[in-house]
Amino acid sequence: MADYPRFGPAGVPPSFRVLKASLMDVPRLLREEGLDAFEYQAVRWGVKPQIRREDAEKFGLKARENDVAVSLHGSYFMNFCGGKETVDASKKRLIACATASEWMGSPLVVFHVGFYGRKSPKQVFNECLEALKDAVSEMKTLGIKGVKLGLETMGKVSQFGSLDEVLGLCEQVEQTQPVIDWAHLHARDKGRFKTVEDFREVFVEIEKRLGAEAVKNMHCHFTKIEFTDKGEKRHHVLDEAGYGPDFELLAKVIAEFRLNPVIISESPILDLDAIKMRDILMKELKC
């Protein structure tokens, strides 16, 4: 783990595509912007890795050469709350993502656990617990030991992924860690983060349940967000007034506790808002 906070985009920034940059160019271009993290998007993958091992390893090498920390966002086509066939397919997709993540030298696969459907939250929790234990067991059998599963907090009330649910699974399933999506929690709880203390409470809860290391090197997502009674609606850029949460409040807590998170921008202007967040935090750290 780095001994400083890292910032980067969720996927290849639009400006890089305009330059017709290849995947192998991304770490260098991020470094030129002063960014040092990248979340590879495997969100459309099926049950097999959709990148050749050779390319994944080459990308990982380029990332290390440029000191860019890589994570991988897993397939959207996973639901560990569904029926047996759906869960079995979800496990295969998750393991495909973990396999490619290991090829890249990425220590983390971020993923969405699933939807409640007609089941109760308690039933869903117990079913997800067993399914994820099975997935981790299979990963170990395959020798995938250097990759953790990152359970993301979710922004819609129909989705499994409250802070309590994510921490509950992480308490009981090996090789997992929470991925705190601040925008999702803000939307799910209808405008949760209004003060520094609102952010601080999340860090305190994580430390209480998972220990200081889980807080010190947290992996998280950030953007501003619009929401309805059902939860998240759409992401907004940092400079857009009228939407939250406010990154400056989060930066104060990170600086207060001297944390070293990886912060992935999910803003519509991925890298540009990652740079803005970096600059806000650097200013706070100098105060």
| Average pLDDT estimate for 176-199 | 98
Give the pLDDT score at 286: 87
* pLDDT on residue 18: 87
The per-residue pLDDT for range 211-261, each reduced to its tens digit, is 999 999 999 999 999 999 999 999 999 999 999 999 999 999 999 999 999
Q: How confident is the model at residue 28 (pLDDT cuts 50, 70, 90)?
A: very high
pLDDT greater than 90 at residue 117: no
Within 8 A by CB and 6+ apart from 194, the residues are 244
Identify the pLDDT of residue 19.
Answer: 87
287 pLDDT band, cuts 50/70/90, is low
What percent of the chain is predicted at pLDDT more than 90?
93
Q: Side chain identity at 55, as an amino acid letter? A: D
3-state secondary structure of 96: helix
As its CATH architecture, domain 6-286 has: Alpha-Beta Barrel (3.20)
Cα separations in angstroms, 178 against 14, 88, 125, 154, 241 = 28, 22, 15, 11, 29
Residues 6+ apart with CB under 8 A from 269: 13, 14, 237
What pLDDT, on the 0 to 100 scale, is given for residue 234? 97
Confidence category of residue 2, pLDDT binned at 50, 70, 90: low
User: What average pLDDT does range 17-36 have in this prediction?
Assistant: 95
Average pLDDT over residues 24-40: 98
Mean pLDDT value of segment 81-105: 96
Domain locations in the chain?
Answer: 6-286
Encoded tokens for 193: 């983060």
